[in-house]
Amino acid sequence: MKLSALFVFLISLFLSSCQTESKKQSETSASSPTEKAVSETSVLTSAKPAGEAPEGMVWIPGGQFIMGSDHETATEVEGPAYTVEVSGFWMDTHEVTNAEFREFAEATGYVTVAERPINWEEMKKQLPPGTPKPPDEVLQPGSLIFDPPNHAVPLHDYSQWWSWKIGANWRQPKGPDSSIKGKDNFPVTHIAYEDAQAYADWAGKRLPTEAEYEFAAQGGTTGQAFAWGDELTPSGKYLANFFQGDFPHKNVSIDGFASASPFKSFPPNKYGLYDIIGNVWEWSSDWYRPDTHSQQSKITICRNPTGPEQSYDPQEPFTPKRVIKGGSYLCSDQYCSNYRPSARMATAVDSGQEHLGFRCVKDAG
Ligand SMILES: [Ca+2]
């Protein structure tokens, strides 16, 4: 396939994932994407369903919001900012905890990706052709742990603070000598995408789209630098679990936590969501592409977008990646400042990490 044809094919795949209003688009094609979107009104399915809320969930009313960011702190993949609509949905008030995930694992016998033997034939499909097979002693079940040096290191090289730890998984987050004893209310971690999806299926829920997550994280406000306003720590108050100090070697933990915190350690946002910013990163169901926002912003009204049809990360083109949201206890203003609703990161679908978990959503009907 010629490159140009391939490009058109990829774009058509992309656009099919976002409901368009082609007539309105052609009528207003002279305007900028944001102007076009704002000029339209639409009916949203945002009425709160009657009856009790599902246990542990709150109603997120849906509506029109500005997705993405052109703010000076935003990375290139967060822009441009444009108008998106999402329908209302239920969302877990907190990240799925160790106790909740244990209940699922015990009920189903589920084994997470980090606990399974490594299949080299599958793994090598995600690597550049010709990548040599590592020794068998390295190809053992495990996951990525935060293992910082005791001195300053260049911040462009994350291998300085992330290590592959054989035996690390949700039951033993730092490896074989660790456990989650006494940590029932902490977020479950080392969860690959299919693990999160399996849990969601079992619970009768699903994972949020990137748009749903970002809408929920804004808490009904928009255009602010942070979810709670324009100051990171208003009146010196820490409103989320992130990193203070010199990243990665010196964590001074002014917010009270050097790593993950139990749920409800920080105030909820206006929707009643805890740790929707900070603590651990959370999976969204969208495939990752760096140009998602520039593509979706071309649509008159981008309603309930579900992201591109395929993943593409130019840094690692062979690795399927989904978008993770919310930032973690490792986000630092010196390094990534990903404790903002528009922040987005690409993560390999089979990659569990010590600072990555999830929460679920559920449709109204
Ligand atoms: Ca979180």
Give the model's confidence band at 3: pLDDT under 50 very low, under 70 low, under 90 confident, else very high: very low
pLDDT, position 21: 41
In contact, 277 and 340? CB cutoff 8 Å: yes
CA dihedral sign of residues 123, 125, 128, 131:
positive
Find the 191 Cα to ligand 1 centroid distance in Å. 13
User: Taking Cα atoms as reference points, which of 201, 184, 183 lies closest to residue 193?
Assistant: 201
- How is 260-285 classified by DSSP, letter by letter? ---TTSS---TTS-SSSSSSSEEEEE
Find the 98 Cα to ligand 1 centroid distance in Å. 14
Q: What 3-state class would DSSP assign to 180?
A: coil
- How is 37-83 classified by DSSP, letter by letter? HHH-------PPPSSPPPTTEEEE--EEEEES--STTS-GGG---EE
Give the model's confidence band at 33: pLDDT under 50 very low, under 70 low, under 90 confident, else very high: very low
**Token representation of residue 252:** 């001074």
- Second CATH level (architecture) for the domain 1-365: Alpha-Beta Complex (3.90)
Find the 142 Cα to ligand 1 centroid distance in Å. 22
User: What tens digit of pLDDT does each residue of 290-328 get?
Assistant: 999 999 999 888 999 999 999 999 999 999 999 999 999
How many alpha carbons fall within 13 Å on the CB side of residue 205?
23
Q: Quote the CA–CA distance of 199 and 207 in Å, as a whole number.
A: 10
Q: What 3-state class would DSSP assign to 247?
A: coil
Q: What 3-state class would DSSP assign to 20?
A: coil
Q: Is the pLDDT of residue 123 over 90?
A: no
Q: Could you state, in order of their start, the residue ranges of all structural domains in the chain?
A: 1-365
Average of per-residue pLDDT values in the chain: 87
Burial 168-198 (b: 16+ CB within 10 A, else e): bbbbbbbbeeeebeeeeebbbbbbbbebbbb
Of 47-61, 120-134, 187-201, 343-357, the range with the lowest mean pLDDT is 120-134
Neighbouring CB atoms inside 10 A of 325's CB total 26
Q: Quote the CA–CA distance of 189 and 175 in Å, as a whole number.
A: 12
- Quickly tell me which residue has 């799925």 as its tokens: 96
Find the 178 Cα to ligand 1 centroid distance in Å. 22
User: What tens digit of pLDDT does each residue of 212-233 get?
Assistant: 999 999 999 887 889 998 899 9
Find the 274 Cα to ligand 1 centroid distance in Å. 8
Q: Is the pLDDT of residue 362 over 80?
A: yes
Find the 206 Cα to ligand 1 centroid distance in Å. 16
Helix axes 98-108, 193-202, angle to 10 degrees: 80
Find the 309 Cα to ligand 1 centroid distance in Å. 25
Q: Is the pLDDT of residue 350 over 50?
A: yes
In contact, 180 and 186? CB cutoff 8 Å: yes
Q: What 3-state class would DSSP assign to 145?
A: strand
Find the 190 Cα to ligand 1 centroid distance in Å. 14
Find the 208 Cα to ligand 1 centroid distance in Å. 13
* Mean pLDDT calculated for residue range 5-33: 36
User: What tens digit of pLDDT does each residue of 71-121 get?
Assistant: 888 999 999 999 999 999 999 999 999 999 999 999 999 999 999 999 899
pLDDT, position 27: 32
Find the 239 Cα to ligand 1 centroid distance in Å. 12
